[in-house]
Structure 1
Amino acid sequence: MLFKRLLPYISLYFLIETLLRISLLIRSLSDIDYSLIDIIKVLVIGYWFDLATLGFFLIPIIIFHISLPASKHGSRFDQIATKVLCLIFTFILLFDATAEHIFWSEFNTRFNFIAVDYLVYTSEVIGNIIESFPIYRLIAALIVIAFFLTWLSTSIFKPKTLTAQNFSKRLKSSLMTFSIFLLAYFLSSVEQANFKNNAEATEIASNGIHNLFHAFWNNEIDYNRFYAKQDDNKVNQNIRKLLASEDASFIDQDITRIIKADNPIKHKNIMLVVMESMSAEYMQAFGNNENLTPNLDRLANEGLFFTKLYATGTRTVRGLEAITLSIPPTPGQSIVRRGGNENLFSLGFVLKDHGYDNKFIYGGFGYFDNMNAFFSVNGFDVVDRTNLDDKEVQFANIWGVCDEDLFKRAIVEADKSYTTGNKFMQLIMTTSNHRPFTYPEGKIDIPSHSGRSGGVKYADYSVGKLIEWAKEKPWFNDTIFVFISDHTAGAGGKVELNLNKYHIPMIIYAPNSIKPQKHNDIASQIDLAPTLLGLMNFSYYTKFFGKDLLNSKVNSPYAFISNYQKVAMMKDNKITVLAPKSSISQYTWPNGENVENMEEALVDDTIAYYQSASKWREIYGKIPTRPIAEN
């Protein structure tokens, strides 16, 4: 009974998917010669992936079958409803096939994480499609074709011949059928479509929707397939040269090296505050005259102030990745959200190896963006909203407790560590400077829910309270405070990778041990971890890509910036950009002029950093970090 109902949809699905695959094969014939065996293999593998994806398209039809009363099966209502569902089903398949052809024209691939990215930037993508294609005529044509195919299919497989079946039988058959499709999906893997030395055949044998699901869950773009790359030996030699310094010695053939400090180690407590969306432009130190950040500006004058530091991305998890792992941003989503991200070489493990009590403290629910899962397997204990009692919360919104409440809990956790005699490291992630910009009333002169300026000023107010409370503690004089933003409040602009839209402040404050100073050279978020360890004279084994910014023995640092698809490196007032389709471009900064004759050394360095970082699963595993002499 159910199979008979599904026949019109299954037949249309395999017809359209087969025609799509054949048409893509024909389009690729100009580039690649296929043997008959290759073509058969592409089609057979393709049918497997189509079967593995079919169940998701059939969910609405199966639900309709279960919910339709037995007396209505084969009725006039059933016939009309079947045709309407079939029309919608067919149009969606045709629309998907058309979209895949458009995507293929651009990238020579089926859907992947780039397509997921397009779903994020819907306004820009839809606008681009409308300007590039006769979209309305195209949709009209798809509707006409969908009507014809629906008529053809329902004429062959007549819904009026469907017979009644009781609810329990319908439910049982539906669950069994969907279970078969679901099993096929879980048994399928994108690697099963792999053709050696024939990337296009691999793509054609795949299913675009299946790839889309895979890309969404894996959150990354395969660097080796879509970005400019060089011989691995050349890249390895270059990255070792870029990471070399007088106080570092390589101990194997990859990037692992030992940093040897000249002076005795100084174990300090660390409060590392990552501030939500705190762009440099909000501080008076960078020209803002609204008096939004009096506390940060005061700390900048009293501490070590980095004036040209840039965020690696546009999301909180990207900033947390850079700060914790000291690694350039790889294409796609942050490593924090990817699979296989446990036991990586991290700031957490370096400090843990030196006896530190590490905690990730977040005022919201840390399951969001996989933060709790990431930090809990990379050297940190987690304290989030679930650990706070109601009596600790004076104010909270959808993102979490207000920054004051968060800092009060951080003080409590610091006291616990101090009482046990352990040095502590806290990575504190704030949320108040985030839409809807709500916070306790009466704290600042801007009413809650008034907009970004209020969010910035309240976040700064809370920083002032943190320092005020900490000064009353016995551990204050032995603590380094770090204030850095996760990203800026926006990364738009005429230039796609606008360096100003990645400009963030970083302040290291420890009045009893660090003299006021401004660091005016270019710097990156990934430089924080080695710089912090350098301030404490740590000797340690490292895999960090970042540099100790205060160590004159290291090479000149770079800045790394990215969006989901494009990654870039800045040095010497030139920004080198790597993009899908192995695209490389270079432009000057700040005037944004394209460089026609690109500086090859900068191109080589950019590829060396990003091609090496793309192998993080292979090269970035946890290792014991304390030198043998200390153990």
Structure 2
Amino acid sequence: MFLQKAKPFIYLGVFYLIISLVIRVIFLFHPITTVNFGIFEIIKILLLGMVNDIFVFIPASSFLVLYFLFLSDSKYKNPYGQIILGALTLLFLYILVIPNNIFRQYGGSVTKIVLIFVGIKMFFFGLMFFLPSKRIRIRNILYFIIILLYVLSIVFNSVSEYFFYNEFGVRYNFIAVDYLIYTNEVIGNIMESYPVAPLFIAIFVVTGSITWLIFRKTKNELLTLPDLKQKFALLSIYIVTVGISFIILPAIGKIRSSNVFANEVQANGIPKFYWAFTHNELDYFQFYSQIGQKQADELFLSQYPEQAVMRKIVSGQPEIKKNVVLISIESLSADFMEHYGNTRKVTPFLDSLASQSLMFTNLYATGNRTVRGLEALTLCIPPTAGESIIKRDNNKNKFTTGSVFKSKGYDVKFLYGGYSYFDNMEDFFGGNGYDIVDRNNFRPEEITFANVWGVADEDMAKKAIQVMNAEAKSGKPFFNHWMTVSNHRPFTYPDGRIDIPGNAKSRDGGVKYTDYSIRKFFEMAKKQDWYKNTVFVIIADHCASSAGKTELPADKYRIPAMIFSEGLIQPQKFDKLMSQIDVMPTLFGILNFNYTSKFLGQDVFKREFRPKAYIATYQDLGLIKDKHLTIISPVRKIKQYLLTPEKSKLAPEFNIYYTEKLLKNPDQILVNETISAYQSTSYWLKNNQLNR
């Protein structure tokens, strides 16, 4: 009886295993998987993946179990049928008519969802109650819909996992959770980036075909329904298998390789998504290695002369009250620029500007998302475990670059071509004293082109000039932080601006168009009276991709940065290792600002500066120092790699790429420095010691 009644689960399960196997094989040979696997390693990955899939499918089939559990002919007999139909009708009217029903207390769309569900249930129950001769046919229709939804979920999830891996080189993580929240931007991005019509046609053809096959093979199981005793036996077996699944899945998750790609390919995206959804912020003190708090603070603060969180920065030279424009560029990896060996000439203006600027040639982004870059440039602190501070509740009244400028009498603004509610930017910048100029401030005639991420960068450049002209008239200096948007998938922009068509959806096109837009901005700025009294800081927010063979591939965090100001900045290159969090303290040093600092970045021209860089994902926290990369991870894991530079043939003066060799015996001094940086930063944030 068990095997007979389990036929729908077996067919669905086999289909799920097949499609999961196909996805894994695709991932194994995907261009982003930059590692070669041996035959035995491939077999191991596929076997572990299949075990993963089996024990994920079992609890995932719980809705189908509930559907079969409530299938019954006896519930339509008198008086049960009248009682159930009456109860459903009363519940429907209660939700529809009573304004303060219990479901409204949950807010959002809960009431509508429950009303629709109860309404559908009431409608079909009524049909099967009043039309017993049509009961089998109606039940078959409902069963077909249930199977269709399951098959569609399997197919759609597989397609989603493919595109997510294609973009980020990993299975679902925190970014996937973000995508679920910001559906407008994400759906728009998909619509503009991929051939949606053929894709959805293929999805529905496959879904329809598989659903029909499973339906035809299993519909006879609905002709004879199990009695209550048989249902109890089947349910007991299912509960036991679910319990086994919850034991096996964590155990399988602990079987990990030193190769990140192997771990991602053998994993299953559904548990990873659930984990990311429930662990959006990580408690450092629960998951990471620690040393004594006093020891951690003293070790970390030893790099500053005053050895304190709050420090007085005294220049000894007259302060320079120039305007400051900070342009953080979306996804601009260092190797897009000719200065780092790129031969495709996609950044002609930025390359020319770099030759006239103070160029930081050995600088690393703190993370792999825009909010991490904005955090580094605004708060000037190492990244912390979990989400960026920008996206946390306790994100206001922090000590920021904006607060330093405000203390000097500057107007402070954040400029963004999209809607700044995205990624919580509006809440963060508004809560830290920035005025915000975003897409809401554009009149229709000011927008020549826009995609889902916002107005084209050249439109934002024109708006920025208007804003700065208005600020200059006030007689006060201004600080404006402009975040670009065009160098982001789908990489669409107006035609006729560059030699790559605007609908080519090419990353090189996105980079080159942003470069074009920044050139237009400077051409307009040079015509303004405030131009020669302005310092321009141009820096990437993060690299275009962070996928690699290890948890934190160092070369995927290298970004370009420069400071330009006619008459103030002499062209030069700063080649020492530095972090994104050092840029703004260095700028304040150039401007001879006297201020009380809580920044954890350093002025790289000070004698006490220690070359180092912090790089991180949501979980893995790294320190690059002394040709080593030390990584601390949950749960209290520590790894250390020896970084051996690889010379670029096209730009041999820059060591852009590294070979990372895992060390069996980590340097404990560097391990303690890594722990102290992240432990102390987390502790000070937790205790609001980095607030204004």
TM over 0.5: yes
| Cα separation, 2, equivalents of 1:255 and 1:129 | 50
| Cα separation, 2, equivalents of 1:267 and 1:143 | 61
Matching residue within 224, 228, 236 for 2:289: 228
Counterpart residue type for residue 475 of structure 1: W
* Residue 537 of structure 2 corresponds to residue 482 of structure 1: yes
Q: Per the alignment, in what secondary structure is the counterpart of residue 165 of structure 1? A: helix
* Residue 419 of structure 2 corresponds to residue 365 of structure 1: yes
| Cα separation, 1, equivalents of 2:342 and 2:321 | 36
Deviation per CA, 1:3-25: give whole Å up to 9, x if none: xxxxxxxxxxxxxxxxxxxxxxx
Corresponding residue for residue 131 of structure 1: 48
| Cα separation, 1, equivalents of 2:86 and 2:469 | 68
Corresponding residue for residue 438 of structure 1: 492
- Cα distance, 1:333 vs. partner? 1.3
Corresponding residue for residue 578 of structure 2: 523
Matching residue within 557, 575, 578 for 1:502: 557
Task: From the superposition, tell whether residues 128 and 388 of structure 1 become closer, same or farther in structure 2 (CA, over 3 Å).
Answer: farther
Q: How does 1:57-76 map to 2 (within 5 A)?
A: none
Corresponding residue for residue 407 of structure 1: 461
Counterpart residue type for residue 513 of structure 1: L
Task: From the superposition, tell whether residues 142 and 212 of structure 1 become closer, same or farther in structure 2 (CA, over 3 Å).
Answer: closer
* Residues 355 and 423 in structure 1, CA contact (< 8 A), matched pair in contact too: yes
Corresponding residue for residue 307 of structure 1: 361
Q: Per the alignment, in what secondary structure is the counterpart of residue 593 of structure 1? A: strand
- Cα distance, 1:391 vs. partner? 1.5
Q: How does 1:438-457 map to 2 (within 5 A)?
A: 438-450=492-504, 451-457=506-512
* Residues 278 and 489 in structure 1, CA contact (< 8 A), matched pair in contact too: yes
Corresponding residue for residue 321 of structure 2: 267
Corresponding residue for residue 199 of structure 2: none
Deviation per CA, 1:37-93: give whole Å up to 9, x if none: xxxxxxxxxxxxxxxxxxxxxxxxxxxxxxxxxxxxxxxxxxxxxx99xx99xx99x
| Cα separation, 1, equivalents of 2:466 and 2:439 | 14
Corresponding residue for residue 691 of structure 2: 622
Deviation per CA, 1:318-337: give whole Å up to 9, x if none: 10000000011111111111
Counterpart residue type for residue 317 of structure 1: V
Task: From the superposition, tell whether residues 490 and 171 of structure 1 become closer, same or farther in structure 2 (CA, over 3 Å).
Answer: same
| Cα separation, 1, equivalents of 2:52 and 2:483 | 44
* Residue 385 of structure 2 corresponds to residue 385 of structure 1: no
| Cα separation, 2, equivalents of 1:586 and 1:603 | 8
Corresponding residue for residue 170 of structure 1: 91
- Cα distance, 1:133 vs. partner? 5.4
Corresponding residue for residue 35 of structure 1: none
- Cα distance, 1:282 vs. partner? 0.7
Note the residue ranges of structure 2 that are not aligned, 5 or more in a row: 17-43, 111-269, 644-657
- Cα distance, 1:178 vs. partner? 3.9
- Cα distance, 1:269 vs. partner? 0.4
- Cα distance, 1:233 vs. partner? 1.1
Q: Per the alignment, in what secondary structure is the counterpart of residue 527 of structure 1? A: helix
| Cα separation, 2, equivalents of 1:312 and 1:345 | 18
Q: How many residues are aligned here?
A: 472
* Residue 528 of structure 2 corresponds to residue 473 of structure 1: yes
* Residue 661 of structure 2 corresponds to residue 593 of structure 1: yes
Task: From the superposition, tell whether residues 355 and 156 of structure 1 become closer, same or farther in structure 2 (CA, over 3 Å).
Answer: farther
* Residue 396 of structure 2 corresponds to residue 328 of structure 1: no
Deviation per CA, 1:551-588: give whole Å up to 9, x if none: 2x223131011112111000011000010010011001
Task: From the superposition, tell whether residues 145 and 213 of structure 1 become closer, same or farther in structure 2 (CA, over 3 Å).
Answer: closer
* Residues 343 and 621 in structure 1, CA contact (< 8 A), matched pair in contact too: no
- Cα distance, 1:176 vs. partner? 4.0
| Cα separation, 2, equivalents of 1:435 and 1:427 | 22
Q: Per the alignment, in what secondary structure is the counterpart of residue 134 of structure 1? A: helix
Counterpart residue type for residue 415 of structure 1: N
- Cα distance, 1:155 vs. partner? 8.1
- Cα distance, 1:257 vs. partner? 1.1
Corresponding residue for residue 428 of structure 2: 374
TM normalised by structure 1 equals 0.69
- Cα distance, 1:528 vs. partner? 1.3
Range moving further from structure 2, 129-138 or 307-316: 129-138
Deviation per CA, 1:315-374: give whole Å up to 9, x if none: 101100000000111111111111111101111111111111011000011111011111
Deviation per CA, 1:231-251: give whole Å up to 9, x if none: 111111112213x13xxx35x
| Cα separation, 1, equivalents of 2:46 and 2:681 | 33
* Residues 547 and 557 in structure 1, CA contact (< 8 A), matched pair in contact too: no
| Cα separation, 2, equivalents of 1:578 and 1:156 | 59
Range moving further from structure 2, 130-139 or 482-491: 130-139
| Cα separation, 2, equivalents of 1:258 and 1:285 | 37
- Cα distance, 1:156 vs. partner? 14
* Residue 483 of structure 2 corresponds to residue 429 of structure 1: yes
Matching residue within 276, 279, 288 for 2:333: 279
| Cα separation, 1, equivalents of 2:88 and 2:61 | 36
Corresponding residue for residue 462 of structure 1: 517
Task: From the superposition, tell whether residues 157 and 620 of structure 1 become closer, same or farther in structure 2 (CA, over 3 Å).
Answer: farther
Task: From the superposition, tell whether residues 217 and 286 of structure 1 become closer, same or farther in structure 2 (CA, over 3 Å).
Answer: same
Corresponding residue for residue 550 of structure 1: 605
* Residues 551 and 620 in structure 2, CA contact (< 8 A), matched pair in contact too: no
Task: From the superposition, tell whether residues 293 and 135 of structure 1 become closer, same or farther in structure 2 (CA, over 3 Å).
Answer: closer
Deviation per CA, 1:387-435: give whole Å up to 9, x if none: 0111211111111111111011111111111100010001001011111
Corresponding residue for residue 15 of structure 1: none
Task: From the superposition, tell whether residues 177 and 377 of structure 1 become closer, same or farther in structure 2 (CA, over 3 Å).
Answer: closer
* Residues 218 and 339 in structure 1, CA contact (< 8 A), matched pair in contact too: no
| Cα separation, 2, equivalents of 1:393 and 1:592 | 46
Matching residue within 576, 584, 609 for 2:677: 609
Task: From the superposition, tell whether residues 155 and 572 of structure 1 become closer, same or farther in structure 2 (CA, over 3 Å).
Answer: same
Task: From the superposition, tell whether residues 493 and 176 of structure 1 become closer, same or farther in structure 2 (CA, over 3 Å).
Answer: same
Q: Per the alignment, in what secondary structure is the counterpart of residue 343 of structure 1? A: coil
| Cα separation, 1, equivalents of 2:512 and 2:691 | 39
* Residue 323 of structure 2 corresponds to residue 256 of structure 1: no
| Cα separation, 1, equivalents of 2:388 and 2:586 | 22
* Residues 324 and 348 in structure 1, CA contact (< 8 A), matched pair in contact too: yes
| Cα separation, 2, equivalents of 1:146 and 1:387 | 47
Counterpart residue type for residue 331 of structure 2: S
Corresponding residue for residue 299 of structure 2: 238
* Residues 329 and 485 in structure 2, CA contact (< 8 A), matched pair in contact too: yes
| Cα separation, 2, equivalents of 1:461 and 1:144 | 52
| Cα separation, 1, equivalents of 2:572 and 2:54 | 63
Q: Per the alignment, in what secondary structure is the counterpart of residue 350 of structure 2? A: helix
Q: Per the alignment, in what secondary structure is the counterpart of residue 687 of structure 2? A: helix
* Residues 340 and 617 in structure 1, CA contact (< 8 A), matched pair in contact too: no
* Residues 488 and 502 in structure 1, CA contact (< 8 A), matched pair in contact too: yes
Task: From the superposition, tell whether residues 224 and 416 of structure 1 become closer, same or farther in structure 2 (CA, over 3 Å).
Answer: same
Corresponding residue for residue 104 of structure 1: none
| Cα separation, 1, equivalents of 2:456 and 2:373 | 20
* Residue 400 of structure 2 corresponds to residue 354 of structure 1: no
Counterpart residue type for residue 526 of structure 1: I
Q: How does 1:69-218 map to 2 (within 5 A)?
A: 131-132=48-49, 134-135=51-52, 137-138=54-55, 161-162=80-81, 163=83, 164-165=85-86, 169-171=90-92, 173=94, 176=101, 178=103, 216=277
Deviation per CA, 1:520-579: give whole Å up to 9, x if none: 01111111120111110011111111011122x223131011112111000011000010
- Cα distance, 1:496 vs. partner? 2.5
- Cα distance, 1:620 vs. partner? 4.0
- Cα distance, 1:612 vs. partner? 1.3
Task: From the superposition, tell whether residues 294 and 343 of structure 1 become closer, same or farther in structure 2 (CA, over 3 Å).
Answer: same
| Cα separation, 2, equivalents of 1:182 and 1:422 | 46
Give me the identity figure in percent. Answer: 40
| Cα separation, 1, equivalents of 2:60 and 2:547 | 36
